Structure 1
């Protein structure tokens, strides 16, 4: 009997012709497949238009005061770096938004020395001047007075193609008597803040470079531990799960004890005894603050309490979940290639993301660049009447504007500044289309991986003799999915895309309405965002199970989603075991592996126990953090395969329970362990 011809609220009837995933399939959701192909074609067309019409350099390359793009435009092609005449004007709070109010010119190279113009012989040769201005011994002082040449500059290095000063003691000795004290103090504060931030980042990069091979070894150990952990779980699933639970509890107890001890140690100390000194790095400064340890203590205590409560009240559910995890371990171990299969959907997702970012960047630079007059003062406006603030300008004509060049002293801040791109009228729609393409593409990539894994694990479950499982099960599942079910994947991923676009629209509306401070509007938007967040989570759950049913029966998305939903609803109590408890167990497994590898890395990098030489590192904790982050992603990749295996086997188990009764004519396909846990038995003579 066909699965589609029975009452949805009744158990699935026995079908003597059913022996696992359908071998006779046809293409599903063809209309969605065609729409998806058309969409990809349109997206490719938009990309071609963007790549041929856009120029990201309009946004990324620094521009001088006359709108010239350093290193690109013909008149500054050999001058790739941007130089600022007076850096003390470039560190105000609004400079990132309004621009630096000082002349800026493109130069061949950044200054490599400290210079202050004192009108001494031959000093004119060191002057950096505006375009078309040539200094000599007779006019150098006048050019400096007219702000056509920079009166001083500092030893600088290129940073994002901009000349940024090098901060050291020589700097202060050189300029302490030559620049206005107030401007100097303000500038130095900002420069020190910028320098400190850059120094921390540079130190982190240096640590990563100097310890890259140790980090690679740590990552290799993490992969090895994950593989060993999963292999062991095939035979010792229950002990490994309980070990993970107890290990996480032990680690949390240790964290609570350690943070409490540090807080008690620091709480009686005054601020003066824990003041940060100049030699402390940013990590050490936070480690000496009692509030840091108090926050960590509270977080560790709350997490420990939650884990203990779950362990106490859900211990029976955990036993049932462990049985499913053990079945998943057997399936994963039987087809070990599935452990590394998620790498390919991830690569596909990364490719989609990179493509969407490139298209967005190129689209943003299509059209005509707009330049606007900035810095017009009252003195300048009385002599140069052709322009006023806010007027549009053209860089070429502005650069040759005689009035400004003749009155440089009063018009020194007058600039023709790039403000934005005058994009085509369709630009917002093209960018929206690109966003939809990005979301649809990433959700589709994830769905493709889920269905292929579901097909492999469903085949494993419904194969009576496991030794008969196809050797190239992953390849066969991939070919089957790509040949018959692309339309189903496109349909399911599009539903999630629509929901996500609605959420993005709500966030946009919320940002626009914040200035009105309407409590009713805030409440309505909050409810809408919460509703669509919950709806997206529910749809992802339905989609995941629909892909599993499609992998088994080869039906279209709607039929598969309906069958999966009704099967789960008829077994709603058992669903909680899978959807909540197993996810919790997998999370603890990932946490246990991550913290364990992190503790091992900490012994090597941050202690002297192992005798490992860490003298070359600025921050010993940096390699540890990097290893832990990568370990968590690696563990997530492995456990996502496990999660898909458990979800698939659970649906197969529920269908097995409804189709069969354990008799010789209708034997259960489930393992003896599952039959024992759920009180089932095959009555085969």
Structure 2
């Protein structure tokens, strides 16, 4: 027992037959493969049952404030469209969970013109009101509007999913209408036009309103959305520039990887030093001259730029960042050299198989497919069973149907109810409805939805693992090919076929472990939400510790899985054996692994930061200044498109560098194994590059 344990911690012995990823290998983790196939089969069976038994239209059809389904239920059979009295209240962050807090009625057709009651009282018959209100004169109309039984105003709308929504295409024509109006109606139309600039604008405003009632915050949100609408073409140009910059950066790294990394380090240092100097000057200037702190006539960006506290915060942040970077450079300079060498190796590997740069697109497509399939199955499952209807409004009504046994809250059938009650006594029963309550789902419904959630987690983690192992197989093949000219031309295709043929079970095993951990975290979040109403500090502390533990456990398992996939791609062993080999190999080099992993991540972050800042500076030059002749006068804040471009640039750069990250991790494990297997002799030559051999003072002895 102790002997086997000692052997586990010994270096990997030399194997004369080993020359990289095995070609002749067997299937791994067959039991888990069978379990995964059975699971997928069950998921497909549930999907077939849901698609044949469910009807999403039952849930998607709009319902008014009384619960009647527009165009379906008997009392609104001829009114297929849903109208909102105040659509501005329907775009808050809590609306998907609480519903839209405004009166909603079914209508025969959506409004085809602008209407504002105080200025169009003579046309009160155009009011859209609740079903029990029909004003016959201006006085009754005014009373109904004040009691919120009629909509005070509405805009020209078009049906979208049978809901009357503002037509964005009519924005310009509505602006023209404003010029033909007079008096208070102009300000009212401007107010509604600004509110309905776009549905996104409504969402932004109400989301801000969820956190604050500040009118300034609402105006800022509106201005930002308007700037995004007016500068969409600038943002597209910026995205194109970002993609081109990432490609150029990676091409340059093929030959000048070390130089690019050092330039990134120096550039970040220079930026941080300049930031510290500039923020210090501005803080001292504003501190000594309080007159400059007057912000009455400035917009939000200018007002914050003239506050000394703003520059103090920026000074502290930039100083801390500068200190961290300097400490890393001083104490980890040797590790940085090793990290740069690995980045350079990764750059060579990526440029040798350039198709891997675009490979992440395929896992993302599969991820989107898994998400879309899960949503469809969940939606169809939610509509399985029979719809349930109950009587509403009978308690306070003189409807003669009560004589036939109908009572408030009683289960009813719409057709029979309409036949019994909606005939001669229609006016007396107009407020009584056979209301749709919910779907009477089967007993197994919650278990089927839980299975669908589990399938989504397992499927998404499986797709992610598949992409990682294919990339690991490509880069491992590149490293263990002694003469790089012998690298297979279709390396990505070969790796894909090899993984799909032999290691689906291993991917299913690894992704299942992460799925179970994530499922536990979801359950803890659910329990936490349920226990919040009790406000127990001890319970909150225990749950917080549990959530923290499982979050750390998931991160650790993902690290183990990633390295297990690399070892499996090389040696073709099952998941447990690959995870064990990877873990022991890393433990034998624990200091080098810990430092190098973080340093490499730091270098990649600097690369992404340099690209983002470069594209941001170029965007600022073109879209936020007048130096290039581009008209930017229509923007409220010139920096809005620049900020959006920088965010998108960072995401795009992260996509490209994710391939580099996988390349470095794979080559690092191959490098560690190369050091243990070989000694540089003619019988056991190193596979590492000359650059790596030079850094580690190793060399291949000539025969």
TM bucket by the smaller chain? 0.7 to 0.9
Displacement after TM superposition at 1:659 (Å): 1.0
Contact 2:83 2:110 in 1 (8 A): no
Query: CA 1:112–1:150 in 2, change beyond 3 Å: closer, same or farther?
Result: farther
CA distance in structure 2 between the partners assigned to 1:153 and 1:119 by the alignment:
10
Shift of 1:20: 1.2
Q: State the secondary structure of the residue aligned to 2:8.
A: coil
Residue of structure 2 in register with 1:54 after alignment: 54
- Map 1:289-438; keep pairs closer than 5 Å: 295-370=313-388, 380=396, 397=417, 400=422, 405-406=427-428, 420-438=438-456
Correspondence for 1:26: 26
> Does residue 35 of structure 1 match 2:28?
no
CA distance in structure 1 between the partners assigned to 2:457 and 2:248 by the alignment: 35
Aligned to 1:472: 490
1:62 offset after TM fit, Å?
Answer: 3.0
Task: Give 3-state SS (helix, strand or coil) of 1:681's partner.
Answer: coil
Number of the residue aligned with 1:274:
295
Mapped partners of 1:553, 1:664: distance in 2: 23
Asked whether the equivalents of residues 293 and 306 of structure 2 are also in contact (C-alpha less than 8 Å), the reply is no
- Call closer, same or farther: CA 1:272–1:152 in 2, change over 3 Å: farther
Q: Which deviates more from structure 2 when the two are superposed, residues 593-602 or residues 491-500?
A: 593-602
Q: Distance in 2 between matches of 1:157 and 1:263?
A: 51
Query: In structure 2, how many angstroms separate the alpha carbons of the residues matched to 1:549 and 1:256?
Result: 45
Q: Could you say which residue in structure 2 is the equivalent of 1:155?
A: 154
1:666 aligns with 2:690: no
Residue equivalent to 2:525? 507
5+ long unaligned stretches in structure 1: 178-189
1:244 aligns with 2:245: no
Find 1:534's aligned residue among 552, 563, 567.
552
Match of 1:222 in 2: 242
What does residue 570 of structure 1 align with? 588
> In structure 2, how many angstroms separate the alpha carbons of the residues matched to 1:402 and 1:171?
48
- Give the superposition deviation at 1:641: 1.0
Quickly say closer, same or farther: Cα 1:140–1:383, change in 2 above 3 A: farther
Unpaired runs of 5+ residues, structure 2, are 168-173, 189-201, 210-214
Displacement, 1:553? 0.8
Task: Identify which range, 156-165 or 460-469, moves more after superposition.
Answer: 156-165
1:577/1:22 CA distance change after superposition, 3 Å: same
User: What is the Cα deviation at residue 349 of structure 1?
Assistant: 1.3
In the alignment, does 2:497 pair up with 1:496? no
Counterpart position of 1:110: 111
Give the superposition deviation at 1:132: 9.9
8 Å contact 1:656–1:670 — kept in the other structure?
Answer: yes
Tell me the alpha carbon deviations over residues 156-213 of structure 1, each in whole angstroms, 9 at most, x when there is no partner: 2448724679998979936999xxxxxxxxxxxx999669999877766665555444
In structure 2, how many angstroms separate the alpha carbons of the residues matched to 1:576 and 1:346? 29
Query: Once the 2 structures are TM-superposed, how far is the Cα of residue 110 of structure 1 from its aligned partner?
Result: 1.9
Residue aligned with 2:83, SS: strand
Structure 1 equivalent of residue 12 of structure 2: 12
| Aligned pair partner of 1:605 in 623, 626, 633 | 623
Q: Please say which of residues 363-372 and 337-346 is displaced more in the overlay.
A: 363-372
CA contact (8 A) 2:110 2:164 kept: no
TM-aligned CA deviation for residue 237 of structure 1: 2.2
Q: Does 1:545 align with 2:563?
A: yes
Secondary structure in structure 2 of the residue aligned to 1:68: coil
Equivalent-residue separation in structure 1 for 2:245 and 2:88 (angstroms): 54
Query: Which region of structure 1 is more displaced relative to structure 2, 49-58 or 621-630?
Result: 49-58
User: How far 1:430 sits from its partner (Å)?
Assistant: 1.7
**Cα offset for 1:246?**
1.9
Contact residue 78 and residue 108 of structure 1 kept, 8 A: no
> In angstroms, what is the RMSD of aligned CA positions?
4.5
Q: Distance in 1 between matches of 2:232 and 2:463?
A: 31
CA contact 1:457–1:648 (8 Å) conserved in 2? yes
Alignment check: 8 A CA contact 1:364 1:421 kept:
yes
CA contact (8 A) 2:389 2:437 kept: yes
With 642-651 and 518-527 compared, the bigger mean Cα shift is at 518-527
Q: 1:257 to 1:551 in 2, by over 3 A?
A: same
Q: How far apart are 1:404 and its partner, in Å?
A: 9.2
Distance in 2 (alpha carbons) for counterparts of 1:176 and 1:327: 65
Map Cα deviations across residues 129-161 of structure 1 (whole Å, 9 max, x no partner): 6669988x7x99889989999666423244872
Q: How does 1:251-266 map to 2 (within 5 A)?
A: 251-257=271-277
- What secondary structure, in the 3-state scheme, does the structure 2 residue paired with 1:526 have? helix
Cα shift at 1:322: 1.1
Partner Cα distance (1:53, 1:285) in 2? 59
Structure 1 residues 152 and 636: alpha-carbon distance in aligned structure 2, compared to 1, 3 A threshold: closer
| Secondary structure at the counterpart of residue 274 of structure 1 | coil
Counterpart of 2:632?
Answer: 614
Q: Tell me, yes or no, if the aligned pair for 2:397 and 2:429 is still in contact at 8 Å.
A: no
Q: 1:352 to 1:619 in 2, by over 3 A?
A: farther
In structure 2, the partner of 1:231 is 251
Contact kept in structure 2, 1:211 and 1:623, CA below 8 Å: yes
Q: In the alignment, which residue of structure 1 is the partner of 2:541?
A: 523
Contact 2:295–2:302 at 8 Å: present in 1 too?
no
60-69 or 643-652, which moves further after superposition? 60-69
TM-score by length of 1: 0.82
Deviations 1:655-679 (A, max 9, x none): 1111111111111111111111112
- Structure 1 residues 608 and 6, CA, compared in 2 at 3 Å: closer, same or farther? same
* Larger displacement relative to structure 2 (420-429 or 503-512): 420-429
Distance in structure 2 (CA, Å) of the matches to 1:127 and 1:670 = 80
Which position in structure 2 is the counterpart of 1:648? 666
- Per-residue deviation, residues 1-54 of structure 1 (Å, max 9, x unmatched): xxx999211111111111111111111111111211221222222223333333
Query: In 2 relative to 1, CA 483–406 (structure 1 residues): closer, same or farther, beyond 3 Å?
Result: same
> What SS does the aligned partner of 1:82 have?
strand
- Aligned counterpart, 1:182: none
| Aligned-partner Cα distance in 2 for 1:670–1:662 | 10
Cα distance in 2 between the residues matched to 1:650 and 1:91: 49
- Rounded to whole Å, the distance in 2 between the matches of 1:33 and 1:355 is 21
Residues in 1 aligned to 2:587 and 2:151: alpha-carbon distance in whole angstroms: 77
Secondary structure, counterpart of 1:239 in structure 2: helix
In structure 2, C-alpha distance between the alignment counterparts of 1:86 and 1:524, rounded to whole Å: 44
Q: Aligned partners of 2:85 and 2:488: how far apart in 1?
A: 72
Cα distance change on mapping 1:541 and 1:87 into 2, 3 Å: closer
Cα distance in 2 for partners of 1:371, 1:621 equals: 54
| CA deviation after TM superposition for structure 1 residue 216, in Å | 3.2
Give the distance between the partners of 2:120 and 2:242, measured in 1 at CA.
Answer: 65
Pick which of 165-174 and 626-635 moved more. 165-174
Change (3 A) 1:204 1:405: farther
Greater mean alpha carbon deviation, residues 43-52 or residues 292-301: 292-301
Q: What secondary structure does 1:534 align onto?
A: helix
C-alpha displacement of 1:229:
1.8
